[in-house]
Amino acid sequence: MELKNLQKHIHSGEELARLAEQTQCQVEVVNYSDFLMAFGGVGCLLRYLSPEEYYRDLL
């Protein structure tokens, strides 16, 4: 799913947390953050494996 389409489907932090759980991502709850409030109160960090890490994990 493209990012622009994903944004249409995520309506709350609860939905974002549900998607994170489905993909076994770590979730951290922050009580209050001015930075996050500027983005609707939710955010995420995306981390991709380097090619070396990806191939190592396949073994």
Token readout for 58 is 């396949």
Mean of all residue pLDDT scores within the chain? 77
| pLDDT 10s digits, 36-49 | 888 777 787 777 77
pLDDT range class, residue 7, cuts 50, 70, 90 = low
Q: What is the DSSP string of 4-50?
A: HHHHHH--SHHHHHHHHHHTT------S--HHHHTTTT---------
